[in-house]
Chains A and B, each alone.
Chain A
Amino acid sequence: MKWIKKHLIAFAALAVLGYMLVPNVIVAAFSFNDPKGKFNYNFNEFSTEAWTNPCGAQGICESLGLSLQIGVIASLSATVLGAMIAFALGRYRFRGRSATNLLIFMPMATPEVVMGSSLLTLFLMLGVPSGRTAILIAHIMFCVSFVVVAVKARVATLDPKLEEAAADLGANPTQTFLRVTLPLAAPGIAAGALLAFSLSFDDYIITNFNASPSSITFPMYVWGAAARGVPVQVYVIGTVMFLLALIVVMTAQLISSRRHRQVV
């Protein structure tokens, strides 16, 4: 009894953790299912069929490839643009700075449905064809905001004296940026890039408005498949994505805790 009392917080934490992880566990478990019929809702029989043949369902790997491609390009472009905006906002005073600060939040505050439909209207007016390019433009646009927020927070904590010290020690502006500013801002930039990738990879609503029949992303594929019966391969890919995310987060934690230990 005493033991339980003592570890009450641990029990509560485990319960919450379990609550959060149950869906992932179910996904992982059902990725080893061999369903009876079209729907993968009841565990029928253990099978590694889907794991050994992840591209077995028609169109699934094409959609995954497209999503990864869009995710990488969109997050890289948004990171470069967003980091530059964040440095400008964090380091310089210029006309229109506060307006920019405010407007940068707009894509985050606008409901996705509204943004998706208005983007479609805009693209139609400008004659931009629906499909991959349109999706990419849309993704870069909303990812930039998130990158700016992440990088700006980091830039704000940088001591401008460090850049002065670099100049004082003979580093020209380019060297100062590459050797001092950029490495120090890197954690913020990396966080922004990861956030941008997962937002882009995950996006359904805006993507759906601006897609064409030849540009089916992974979320669109899953959504479409859900009506007819989700193939087990979706569970496999879901599990892999979850594990990858877990590894990335754990690595980041490990690096930062090691850095932190050095600080203390």
Chain B
Amino acid sequence: MMDRQEKGDLSLVALTKSFATFTAVHPLDLTIPQGSFFALLGPSGCGKTTTLRMIAGLEEPSGGRIHIGDADITGTKAHQRNVNTVFQSYALFPHMTVLDNVMFGLRRRGDKQARAKADDILELVQLGQVAGKKPTQLSGGMQQRVALARALVNRPDVLLLDEPLGALDLKLRRQMQMELKRIQQEVGLTFIHVTHDQEEAMTMADSIAVMNTGRIEQLGDPATLYEQPRSTFVANFLGQSNLVRARVNPGGTDHIVTVRVHDTDLEMAREHLPEGVDDVWLGVRPEKLRLGEAGGPNHLRGIVRDVSFSGVATQYSVEMPWGQELIVVQQNDGTARAALGETVSVSWAAHHGFALDASQDAEAGAELVDDHG
């Protein structure tokens, strides 16, 4: 009971949750390696919190299994699982001191060293000096750390974080992101972090599963998800994307293919092209686009319709001859700036383009990002 070094990976096998009127989580298969920082990312209502609650044992799955290592924990109750949750609202016990809150889990297990362990963990989250206070006397950020300590102190097989930073202001959120990452590396436990904030997920997680309407859209490390999204939803939900309609030209080399966008042939890496598709959305991230001709084969001409300056960068909206506006983000690094109404060239390197099956909605996921800021 005391020393559980052999915890193992968390695996979800065809895990499903259906309610009377809708299916919150479609059969989900996922393996989360022990000791990793994993993020479940998606808009509200995508099924990420339901998945988390099933892992915690607070929600009963409609089907499928949950394993930790070799143990099948599907049929066990929440209090029997060695899984702890940091709730979005923290859910600290208001009638207990910070110390009693932190010792709650240890006492349930009859841990003789409860006090010493609690003191250690409060030191880790830098709250040793408020151990005797009631949670309501603390600031939001401190309460958040108490909630984290209360869960961490039990050294769970899996620690679940349900939008734990949602209630904090931006500056504190940034600070806590670093803090959480540091603590995770220090204790080496498996963290599963549920969030709708793509930046937060990318900053903290080793790997991210992007969820949408109860399904995993794509799973991978943050850089791969960002550079090579496999669906328009991922392309739009993780950062911004320019998606233009293109048709793949036959031929090309092993590394390079050309695609036809309206009347222009553009190059892209063959490895970024999904197989067996001819009609595609050609995608390029706004910061990969350059104003002016960079000498490469990929450039389009358009008219600057909007310029917005944001300090480190300037965002341009460039209207293409076919009416679509491309977003271009230029670092304010002293290079030439374009003026409103000016005709400019927009160019990019071939390997920065990615292609997505054109049968998908180009706007999928884009409208959801602004909801949460």
Contact check, B94 vs A184: say whether CB atoms are below 8 A apart: yes
Contacts of A170 in B (CB 8 A): 79-80, 105, 108-109, 154
- How many Å from the CB of A83 to the closest CB on chain B? 17
A262-B136 contact, Cβ under 8 Å, with A167-B78, A169-B105, A170-B79: yes
Q: Contact check, B91 vs A164: say whether CB atoms are below 8 A apart.
A: yes
Contact with B along A146-176 (1 / 0, CB 8 A): 0000000000000101101111111111011
User: Which residues of chain A are near B57, meaning CB under 8 Å?
Assistant: 167-168
Q: Shortest beta-carbon distance, B11 to chain A, in Å?
A: 21
Chain B, residues 85-108, CB within 8 Å of chain A (1/0): the string is 101010111110000000011001
Provided the pairs A175-B108, A262-B136, A263-B137 are in contact, do residues A167 and B77 lie with their beta carbons within 8 angstroms? yes
Query: Complex Cα distance A170/B114, Å?
Result: 14
Quick check: is A183 within 8 A (CB to CB) of the other chain?
yes
Interface string of B22-61 (1 = CB under 8 A from A): 0000000000000000000000000000000000111000
Query: How far in angstroms is the closest Cβ of chain B from A116?
Result: 41
Residue from the list A159, A162, A171, A183 in contact with B79, Cβ < 8 A = A171
Known contacts: A168-B78, A169-B84, A262-B134. The answer to whether A162 contacts B93 by CB under 8 A is yes
Residue numbers in B under 8 Å from A164 (CB-CB): 58, 78, 87, 91
Nearest CB in chain A: distance from B289 CB, A: 45
Task: Check B272 for interface membership: any CB of A closer than 8 A.
Answer: no
Interface residues on A, range: 20 to 34
Tell me if A180 counts as interface (CB < 8 A to partner B): yes
Quick one: closest A residue to B78, CB to CB? A167
Closest CB in chain A relative to B162 CB, distance in Å: 10
Q: Is the CB of B95 within 8 A of A169?
A: no
Smallest CB separation, A171 vs chain B (Å) = 5
Are A180 and B93 touching (Cβ within 8 A)?
Answer: yes
Cross-chain contact B134 with A169 (CB below 8 angstroms): no
Chain A's closest residue to B153 (CB) is A169
Q: Is the pair B136, A172 in contact by a Cβ cutoff of 8 Å?
A: no
User: Contacts A162-B93, A183-B95 hold; do A169 and B87 have CB atoms under 8 A apart?
Assistant: no
Interface centre among A170, A179, A180, by most B CB within 10 Å? A170
Chain A contact surface mostly: helix
Interface size class of B (residues with CB under 8 A): 20 to 34
Bound-complex Cα distance A172 to B79 (A):
6
Closest chain B CB from A180 CB (angstroms): 6
- With A263-B136, A263-B137 known as contacts, the answer to whether A161 contacts B79 (CB < 8 A) is no
Please encode chain A, from 221 to 264, with 1 for each CB lying within 8 Å of some chain B CB and 0 for all others.
Answer: 00000000000000000000000000000000000000000110
Please indicate the chain A residues that have their CB under 8 angstroms from the CB of B285 in the complex.
none
CA distance A155 to B163 in the complex (A): 26
Q: B93 touches which one: A165, A167, A262 (CB < 8 A)?
A: A165
> Shortest beta-carbon distance, B66 to chain A, in Å?
15
Q: How far is the CB of B89 from chain A (nearest CB, A)?
A: 6
B150 within 8 A of A: yes
Q: A164-B91, A167-B77, A168-B78 are in contact. Are A262 and B85 (CB under 8 A)?
A: no
Q: Which of A169, A171, A180, A262 has the most CB of B within 10 A?
A: A169
CB closest residue in chain B, given A263: B136
> CB within 8 A of A184: which of B95, B137, B154?
B95
B84 touches which of A159, A168, A173 (Cβ 8 Å):
A168
CB closest chain-B residue, reference A173: B79
CB distance from B160 to the nearest CB of A (A): 9
Which A-chain residue is minimally distant from B104 (CB atoms)? A169
The docked-state distance in angstroms from the alpha carbon of A170 to that of B154 is 10
Q: Using CB atoms, name the residue of chain A closest to B83.
A: A168
- In the complex with contacts A161-B87, A161-B89, A168-B137 CB distance below 8 A: no
Q: Show 10 A/B contacts (Cβ-Cβ < 8 Å), sorted by A.
A: A162-B93, A167-B77, A168-B56, A168-B83, A170-B79, A170-B108, A170-B154, A184-B95, A263-B134, A263-B136
- Lowest 8 CB-CB distances: which A-B pairs, in order? A169-B105, A165-B91, A170-B108, A161-B91, A167-B78, A263-B136, A167-B79, A168-B85
